[in-house]
Structure 1
Amino acid sequence: MSAGPDTTRGAQPLHVAITVGDRDVAVDLTLAAGETVALLGPNGAGKSTVLAATAGLLRPDDGTIRLGERLLFDHSTRTWVAPHRRGIALLAQDARLFPHLTALDNVAFGPRAAGATRTAATERAAHWLEEVGMTAYGHRRPRELSGGQAQKVAIARALATEPAVLLVDEPLAALDVEAAPDVRDLLRRVTHDRTTLVVTHDVLDAALLADRVAVMHAGRVVEEGETSRVLSRPTSDFGARFAGLNLVRGVASNGDLRMPDGRLLHGIAESPLVEGAPAAAVVSPSAVSVHLEAPHGSPRNSLRATVTDLEPHGQLVRVRTDLLSADITPPAVAELGLRRGAAVVLAVKATEVHLHPA
């Protein structure tokens, strides 16, 4: 008799509404069938708690977890489905392959544990090794694989159980820069039309893998939306940092943003602003120029600020100030004589300032 998961095949919607008291996590998150959602947030925000609870590795204090029509957890009725019967696979940062088994046997382990015959499990493992481009390495043991190869085998092992939901925890964190793009492309292919929740700190993972983004802070989801919208028009502080954008908060004032210090930031409102209501402005650092004095023919926004830090940013230098960050060239930094504590004037065109209700 099979001891495998009691679940139907194919993508299913997932709804996680849980509270974990000792970790101060209270989350209500829904994934549509076949949707990939990236869960973002700083360390300690509660992302791993959500994954652990969904996988069945942690029992929440309250709430429900539902996969399709099945209740996996319900505090009020004391419903609790064991991890191996949930139809959910968890792909961790590290491959965590069994060192004494070959790659093929590692992938076959899940189907075998679910009650498949050795022949059927081996056939399914061979299929998924082929899917991830690792057929030629099926006879090798983990110590004979590179980091990228081991992660591909781990992906095949997770998918060989034919899960209804795939949970992915920082899948590229342990890989070198050469291996990461190949594994990212593989994940993009195998998660297509598969209900997937991805925890990541990499903006490229979110941009390439996720249909939608949810941002967590202090145990709560503080922002949700389509990936393109969150990465271009974030409403949360972490969302802005993650996307590499400036986020300035204030209140709406005659169609512009009045900042906490009383100064106005002129911009373009993409949706109606309510006079006096909380609002925010999003500005790309590439749209901000740095001067020592107000420039001639000054753009509509010319704001005095103080440099707080200078840091490399690709081929540019990110100049952080107490108001906005700007990306400028190293020669410009030298010409301006910038340093921490320097007084500067930031200039940005109103057309580059995107305003929205906060």
Structure 2
Amino acid sequence: MSQAKVPAWVTMALLPAINVLVAFLVSALLFIYIDINPVDAAKVMWTGAFGYAEGLGYTLYYATGFVFTGLAVAVAFHAGLFNIGGEGQAYIGGLGIGLICLTLGEVAPWWVVFPVALIVGGAFGAAWAFIPAYLQAKRGSHIVITTIMFNFIASSLMAYLLVDILKPENTMATESRVFAASSWLPKMHEILAVFGIETAPSPLNLSFIFALLCCVFVWLLMWNSRWGYEIRAVGANPTAAGYAGIKYVKVIVLTMVISGMLAGFFGLNVLQGELHQIKLNFVEGFGFTGIAVALMGRNHPIGVLLASLLFGFLYQGGAELSFEYGVDRNIVVVLQGLVILFSGALEHMFRPHLERAYLKFAAKKHQQPTEQGA
């Protein structure tokens, strides 16, 4: 069966939709097992995530974090790299953002702190990705192994800093002092209020707009620039790309630096936008979930954005479900696992049947005008 005969929308849009639908159908069996009507559970989750302003704000807040980590994985994947280090890169990027807010935030307003924090956070994340990139490009060390190891190093480094350096005196909590209020990113409900639009408060902040701009940046980079062409060429065939004059080492390092930079922006949303202090484990697994977001989104910015909304829905809807029915919030982890299972590990289970069905339908549709003309 020729893949070239099957339109891109079949595998890029229809197949992921079928995978998610099957995951939700299997989830319905899980709800039946724990004696919860799956239709009622779906209504509660939908209403909790999209049915009112505060819930929607939380959904988009979670989605913002997934956009950053999902784009980080997607960019690396186009170069044939599996960046497992988004967790550590987001952690170290958040450290840079937090340090800027702790220092510059005392003397400058948020609109001055924000661009500086953005640059420093991206630089810290990029620097944390540079070493695994160099080891991959120059020494042949596998990127999966090195990025996983750097996640643990980042965790240990942050624990040391928060316990021995950044923790205020006379407190046992592993967290920094609170940032100056003038450095906090404006919430979206505050921004909308300036234009006369009143809405319920939520953690959704200005970094959501920046996340959308990052989607545009990745699209322009990957499909509308020479660098993007080189990245995709190396990902498709490193040997052929080398014969074409594309420098493998440069592309690998550049790709991972951009990937780490995107992951480093995560702290804008969580630290400068919501927590307003550096806390231990503030990434909370978003770096690893970003892998699933990128896989579901087929490593395209639009797909990553839609997948981020799905996982934001699962986070916020799962919280509402836990409140409504008293179920363990870990049920969200199970739902995420099912989505990842069918969208990743079992993706090819439906692909051949879907392609065969489409080609059969297309052939029948093509024959009908011929028969009518005869």
- Could you say which TM-score interval applies, normalised by the shorter chain? under 0.3
Which of structures 1 and 2 has the bigger CA Rg?
1
Higher relative contact order (CA 8 A, sep 6+): 2
TM-score normalised by L of structure 2? 0.22
Greater per-residue strand proportion = 1
TM-score normalised by L of structure 1? 0.23
Greater per-residue helix proportion = 2
